[in-house]
Structure 1
Amino acid sequence: MSINDVLTTIDNNLDAATDRLMEFLRIPSISTDPTYKADCDKAADWLVADLKSIGVDAKKCPTPGHPMVMGEVGAENTDKPHLLFYGHYDVQPVDPLDLWNSPPFDPALEETPNGTVIRGRGSSDDKGQLMTFVEACRAWAQVHGSFPCRITFFFEGEEESGSPSLIPFLKEHAEALKADVALICDTSMVSRGVPSIASQLRGMLKEEFTLVGPKIDLHSGHYGGPGLNPLREISKLIASFHDDETGAVAVEGFYEGVHEVPADILRQWQNCGFDEKDYLDNAGYTVAHGEKAYSTLEQQWARPTLEINGLWGGYQGAGTKTVIPSEAHCKITCRLVGDMDPAALRAKLRKHVEDRLPTDTKVVWDLDLDGSPAYVIDTTRTEFEAARGALTEEWDREAVFSGMGGSIPVAGYFKSILGMDAMLVGFANDDDAIHSPNEKYDLESFHKGTRSWARILDALSK
């Protein structure tokens, strides 16, 4: 029996697989709202039962928050790779409910100009994606009576609420969870119909400071002129963060640890079907506003940023209050790439501000903010090229090693705690409206995603 028998089984069982997904989607497993605690337990129980139905030794594992689900099959395949598959069963809140065109937990198939979609909360993030892998394993077991290699299933119930139990759980169960490579489905294709494997995730540095001027708010008639205004001075500091001509960050040493994109990866990005105009139009832009020497995709995936996320001070109520405020405040985040060191960058950023403080001001930094490095994946490993070939064959379109502008913390935790690389493969589209009203998952993504995982399992187990 070949992979074609598994693919045929997936095709023939698509309706039944879709029905199972619909049943799963009806469980309102909102992790951030205590009202839905019982529903999160119910979703974990549903997964345990479904995994057991295909021969997986699965169990629900309690945590201080919502339970984890773990399971394992194929331990006898000692000459095959050991794969860990991760997904999450919890979902985002549905507010504002009045913007949904149909009940968020009453999923249904719907015809759209781009084809049939599965409409409902969690359909794309992450229940539909999670089930593509489970359904691939189900078909494999039906055809072969066994599994292609040793597989550990690991499903989280707190991803949408900050994963407070994740790190302790990973440390406590490190031996059971450690594998040759982790597979993560909580991601998307770079553009419609273009299968993607994420090769790098940007890190994050959070910073916040207060610029303090006069002892108290001052009457702008008495002190307007001779008085220093912290709002004016903080505006100057913020303007100094970037070079107006190039768009580059002007903090000394900011780009230490940043690497150029390798030529073969850049070629894939240039031919991945990314529509820059559509990307900009969706945000109401007409041009890209970042570093002028780099393409929009490079700016989004492979270049670091310094963004002002909040700026405030002085009177903000109704009407007018004629004061020179005592303080001005700024929130900053930096996206990190390559080998950028969050701690070293924090020191550079603070030095940039402190070197430019005018007389009669002081700066107070928030000392409780964190930072995490970028996660760069070793795609030279044979598993990654094998998976890319499998995706290319399924989608009849060259799969690409893409970047990601945001962060998926669990991938970094797998590396730092369990010492294993993660392969991020997902089949969501940019218009899936995850975290928003009317979330959907293309039926094609569910179907071909399942076939894709079957091909990847076949390729990795050879």
Structure 2
Amino acid sequence: MSQLDDVLAHIDADQPQALERLFDLLRMESISTDPAYAAECEKAADWLVEDLKSLGFEATRHDTPGRPMVVAHSGGSGKHLLFYGHYDVQPVDPLELWTRPPFEPMIEDTPHGQVIRARGASDDKGQLMTFLEACRAWKAVTGALPANITILFEGEEESGSPSLIPFLEAHAEELKAELALVCDTGMLDRDTPAIATRLRGMLGEQITVKAASKDLHSGAFGGPAANPIRVLAKILAGLHDTEGRVTLPGFYDGVADLPAEIKAQWDALNFDGEAFLGEVGLKVPAGEQGYSALEQIWSRPTLEFNGIIGGYTGEGFKTVLPAQASAKVSMRLVSQQDPMTLRAALRAYVESCLPADVTVEYKPHGGSMATELPTDTPEFTAAQAALTEEWATEAVFSGMGGSIPIVGHFRKILGMNSLMVGFGLDDDQIHSPNEKYELRSFHKGTRSWARILEALAKA
């Protein structure tokens, strides 16, 4: 048997212990958006530091104005790789929709096989632990890692990463490597591994429309008084036409057409848009007409409404005209769309729609451009071959509908590209109640990283 064969056999035999380690991390309520969970975030960071030290890394917790960063170095020679993941998780609301406590992980049987059910199981604790378990196996079998590895674990990814750019700039020399490895991605389907090469950018904006100085009785003031909900609803409704296109002036500036060869590759994947929507109880694509569901997700920009707040929302009925109403608006960006230009355009549009006696306030959230990565490098070729060998299905180069700003930051601040490999699935319910991670994804994901590390070391 080769060294790699021995490493893979060790991973197989060590699965029960690997799951226990993952469950220990999943039990920590590391919700970064809520200050009430700050201690839990610190606890998770400290746990990772100790686990990395047990693998022979020189690991340190770095406190920031927000949640801690964890940085670790393996030392040694060979290709220098930087692995990135995040240990923070989304809030669990609405709690009543969970079938079990979100921070009490368990193995559950489903029609598709066994899954790990817990908040953070897929996004991103289960994913980052696949890499650590691959490192653990290499160390256990050979006493060394195939490459010189630096690790960066963030604790604010789910809350906009406010400390990330200053931290990268301050620690640039320490973190620079030949290639970054990012695990916060997924498979094309349960049997087809993928390397993500396109990421949409992200822009968020909370819009709060204000009118009267206090809530008003709708019988006494309904009619003559401006209603912020009505004003806001009209503003939001005007941002799309009947064909699903965004009407915001300048929105499509910088949006490039999909190259014919890329479109041909994607068409060959035979992605079933109806089946994709059918998994969540829908049937007909509702986005920009003239583009397939896959193109809409991977290569077209969107403007969506993620939350609307205003007036009385409790049980029963309260006839009130609210003093204010808010909407959370997000844009997924592609090609060369500039987030700051689009933020200004959105604000200008909103203000052009305001009637008398109505004002507006804004709260920005994030702003990153889209990223496209090269696929013709030896590292990408080697990783694709390693994934194909493990899954016995050819690994594909895919796009992603989501946004991973760290990839752009790595390129801009640290001057390196990223290899994005993960084993999440579309139905993992990340950010939603009852999040899960397939047991098969955890096991074969660990084996995949073991293969990729060897392949990259030789590339």
Shorter-normalised TM range: 0.7 to 0.9
CA drift at 1:427: 0.6
Q: Deviations over 1:297-332 (max 9, x none)?
A: 1111210123355678899995768x9x99997764
Aligned to 1:455, which of 438, 451, 455?
451
CA drift at 1:11: 1.8
Q: Deviations over 1:381-432 (max 9, x none)?
A: 3322321222122111122222222212222222232222222211112222
1:434 maps to what in 2? Answer: 430
Secondary structure of residue in 1 paired with 2:108:
strand
1:372 maps to what in 2? Answer: 368
Aligned to 1:423, which of 412, 419, 423?
419
RMSD: 3.7
Cα distance in 2 for partners of 1:301, 1:12 equals: 38
What does 1:211-250 align with in structure 2 at a 5 Å threshold? 241-244=239-242, 246-250=243-247
Output the TM-score relative to the length of structure 1.
0.83
Secondary structure of residue in 2 paired with 1:197:
strand
Relative to structure 1, the CA distance from residue 253 to residue 329 in structure 2 (aligned partners, 3 Å threshold; closer, same or farther) is same
Cα distance in 2 for partners of 1:97, 1:320 equals: 28
Cα distance in 1 for partners of 2:141, 2:246 equals: 56
Cα distance in 2 for partners of 1:313, 1:65 equals: 30
Q: Which AA in structure 1 matches 2:140? A: Q
Report if aligned partners of 2:187, 2:424 keep a CA contact under 8 Å in 1. Answer: yes
2:165 maps to what in 1? Answer: 167
Report if aligned partners of 1:191, 1:273 keep a CA contact under 8 Å in 2. Answer: no
Secondary structure of residue in 1 paired with 2:51:
helix
Secondary structure of residue in 2 paired with 1:46:
helix
Report if aligned partners of 2:245, 2:288 keep a CA contact under 8 Å in 1. Answer: yes
1:408 maps to what in 2? Answer: 404
Cα distance in 2 for partners of 1:168, 1:262 equals: 36
Relative to structure 1, the CA distance from residue 234 to residue 366 in structure 2 (aligned partners, 3 Å threshold; closer, same or farther) is closer
Report if aligned partners of 2:7, 2:138 keep a CA contact under 8 Å in 1. Answer: yes
Aligned to 1:297, which of 285, 294, 299?
294
Cα distance in 2 for partners of 1:34, 1:224 equals: 41
Secondary structure of residue in 1 paired with 2:416:
coil
Give structure 2 stretches of 5+ with no counterpart: none
Q: Percent identity?
A: 57
Report if aligned partners of 2:332, 2:403 keep a CA contact under 8 Å in 1. Answer: no
Report if aligned partners of 1:205, 1:333 keep a CA contact under 8 Å in 2. Answer: yes
Relative to structure 1, the CA distance from residue 298 to residue 58 in structure 2 (aligned partners, 3 Å threshold; closer, same or farther) is same
1:339 maps to what in 2? Answer: 336
1:122 maps to what in 2? Answer: 120
Report if aligned partners of 1:190, 1:274 keep a CA contact under 8 Å in 2. Answer: no
Larger radius of gyration: 1
2:43 maps to what in 1? Answer: 42
2:277 maps to what in 1? Answer: 280
What does 1:103-252 align with in structure 2 at a 5 Å threshold? 103-206=101-204, 241-244=239-242, 246-252=243-249
1:73 maps to what in 2? Answer: 74
Relative to structure 1, the CA distance from residue 229 to residue 180 in structure 2 (aligned partners, 3 Å threshold; closer, same or farther) is same
Q: Deviations over 1:49-75 (max 9, x none)?
A: 222222222222222333222111143
Secondary structure of residue in 2 paired with 1:49:
helix
Q: Which AA in structure 1 matches 2:297? A: Q
Relative to structure 1, the CA distance from residue 292 to residue 68 in structure 2 (aligned partners, 3 Å threshold; closer, same or farther) is same
Relative to structure 1, the CA distance from residue 243 to residue 320 in structure 2 (aligned partners, 3 Å threshold; closer, same or farther) is same
Aligned pair count reads: 453
Secondary structure of residue in 2 paired with 1:413:
helix
Relative to structure 1, the CA distance from residue 163 to residue 369 in structure 2 (aligned partners, 3 Å threshold; closer, same or farther) is closer
CA drift at 1:115: 1.2
Relative to structure 1, the CA distance from residue 399 to residue 261 in structure 2 (aligned partners, 3 Å threshold; closer, same or farther) is farther
2:379 maps to what in 1? Answer: 383
CA drift at 1:452: 0.8
Report if aligned partners of 1:92, 1:160 keep a CA contact under 8 Å in 2. Answer: yes
Q: Which AA in structure 1 matches 2:335? A: G
Cα distance in 1 for partners of 2:66, 2:310 equals: 38
Give structure 1 stretches of 5+ with no counterpart: none
2:57 maps to what in 1? Answer: 56
Cα distance in 1 for partners of 2:434, 2:343 equals: 39
Asked if residue 397 in structure 1 is aligned to residue 393 in structure 2, the reply is yes
CA drift at 1:348: 5.0
Report if aligned partners of 2:210, 2:358 keep a CA contact under 8 Å in 1. Answer: yes
